[in-house]
Amino acid sequence: MSISEKLTIIAENEQRVYDSGYEKGKSEGGSGSNKLPQIIDGTVTELTAEDLAGVTAIRKYACYQNPNLTSVTIPDSATKIDEYAFYGCANLMSVVIGEGVTKIGTNAFRGCRNITSIAIPDNVTSIDNYAFSECKGLTSVYYDGDIASWCNIDFGLYDGSLLLFAENLYLKNGSETYELVTDVVIPDGVTTTRYGTFEGYSHLKSAIVPNSVKYIYGTFKKCDSLATVRIGKGITSIASSAFNSCSTLTDIYIDKPENSISGAPWGAPNSPTIHWNTPLPSEGLEFYKDEYGYIYVSGIGTCTDTDIVIPDKYGAFYVDRIAKSAFDGCSSITSVRISDKITRIDDFAFFNCPNLTSVNIGNGVTEIMYRVFGYCSNLTSVTIGNSITHIGNFAFEHCSSLTSITIPNNVTNIGEGAFEGCTNLTDIYINKPKDSISGAPWRAPNENVTIHWNA
């Protein structure tokens, strides 16, 4: 008897279900009589979509410890793969899961040690405990959905994560091709990061958790390449084991008041630095890469933030510079925070931003170029990182609300007219010997301006 014949119960207008053989149904023996094969023949080596045509579920113990099964194609008609369905199928190498499947049960593929890759349809919402445990050959997971859908999968509480075994996670994220996940930006709207979502994923380097997330559970446990995590202002609770075995985690940024979330560093083994009161990077900004490979922030794009936070990365690449005239004339911006990865702010980058009041320049920036903050008439607060060596000509010209500024001790040059038109500037603090930077007070017009050397 063929596989197809074994898997068929003849019943008019009745759905066929594969249930360790089958669920109850009419058989060819007459109405009401049942024939329920307890297990698929252990000599079966292949189950095709044709063999399983019309099946709505792969039932418990269906192919339990079948030593000969090498290939399974589950049709789109199936909605679930029950617990232990393919448990211990040690020679199973090829699995195709149909688009209709929403649930993969406990121990469903446990011990299938020759599966090397698996594609998960985007309709799957649950992958239960130990579903792929002991799949020692599994190296790659391909998921047809986006990062938001992946984050909404329930992986159970115990070894549900495929990434405890697989080295690579590929997502489509709305495109036609799969991309390897190394840096995760969880989209706004996700409210909880679950157990197992990225647990054990060795390629994960950074993660951004949006303002909409309130709880972080065991999401990032055992991510041994994870270096930085940024967490939004909506967070209310982080599990004590959230970062267990994250041995390379050095920085956790949280947009909350200091010590407002208890339990820090939440299981991280090497005492990472907790950066409180740090907003998430702005989304929707424009970027480009120049011929030398430098990544620039080039404009406001679709970003609607008034408090702009320049990100460390654009995709997989570190952002190097803020482009010439990137935010020139942008009236919506009220504050700017520039990350430590940015090394240069080019000419006119924030020129004539009339509502800009506060600027925080990170410690990676070495140069503020020509007229960068010129005519920002409401600018009152400027924090300059300690790597700055050069402040360009007319960098702060006509910042008429600026009353004081502190120049770091690595600055060796302040350009001509740097403070021209700064009519309310009264104090310039410089932690260097007197007159070690020429040109003071750099055209500051107030006759009462004081240069505080060695400050």
Q: What is the pTM of this model?
A: 0.78
Residue 428 exposure: Cα atoms within 13 Å on the Cβ side: 26
In this structure, is residue 68 part of a structural domain? no
H-only helix segments in 18-65: none
In terms of Cβ atoms closer than 10 Å to its own Cβ (0-12, 13-18, 19+), residue 271 is: exposed
Q: What is the pLDDT of residues 256-268, one digit of tens each?
A: 999 999 999 999 9
CA distances from residue 362 to 305, 344, 368, 445 in whole angstroms, order as listed: 19, 10, 12, 28
Q: What is the dihedral of CA 83, 85, 89, 93, to 10 degrees?
A: -100
Is beta strand 335-338 parallel, antiparallel or unpaired with respect to 307-310?
parallel
How big is the CA angle at 217 (ends 204 and 249), to the nearest 5 degrees? Answer: 40
In whole angstroms, give the CA distance from residue 306 to residue 326. Answer: 15
**Residue 189 amino acid letter:** G
Consecutive H or E run containing 148: helix 147-151
**Residue 256 amino acid letter:** K
In whole angstroms, give the CA distance from residue 15 to residue 155. Answer: 30
State the pLDDT at residue 195: 87
Q: What is the CATH number of the domain that holds 325?
A: 3.80.10.10
Residue 71 exposure: Cα atoms within 13 Å on the Cβ side: 6
In whole angstroms, give the CA distance from residue 372 to residue 382. Answer: 13
**How many distinct structural domains can be found in the chain?**
1
In whole angstroms, give the CA distance from residue 105 to residue 347. Answer: 58
In whole angstroms, give the CA distance from residue 81 to residue 59. Answer: 6
In whole angstroms, give the CA distance from residue 3 to residue 55. Answer: 13
In this structure, is residue 153 part of a structural domain? no
Q: Decide if 204 contacts 227 (C-beta within 8 A).
A: no
Q: What is the DSSP letter of 361?
A: E
Is beta strand 192-193 parallel, antiparallel or unpaired with respect to 117-120?
unpaired
In this structure, is residue 293 part of a structural domain? yes
In whole angstroms, give the CA distance from residue 193 to residue 223. Answer: 15
> Which residues are bridge partners to 215 per DSSP?
192, 237
In this structure, is residue 222 part of a structural domain? no
Residues of the domain holding 437? 282-455
* Beta carbons within 10 angstroms of residue 319's beta carbon: 23
Residue for token pair 């593929």: 109
In whole angstroms, give the CA distance from residue 7 to residue 147. Answer: 37
Q: Which residues of the chain have pLDDT under 50?
A: 1-38
Residue for token pair 């890759």: 117
In this structure, is residue 292 part of a structural domain? yes
In whole angstroms, give the CA distance from residue 362 to residue 340. Answer: 4
In whole angstroms, give the CA distance from residue 367 to residue 387. Answer: 9
In this structure, is residue 63 part of a structural domain? no
In whole angstroms, give the CA distance from residue 183 to residue 316. Answer: 7
In this structure, is residue 176 part of a structural domain? no
In this structure, is residue 375 part of a structural domain? yes
Q: What is the DSSP letter of 17?
A: -
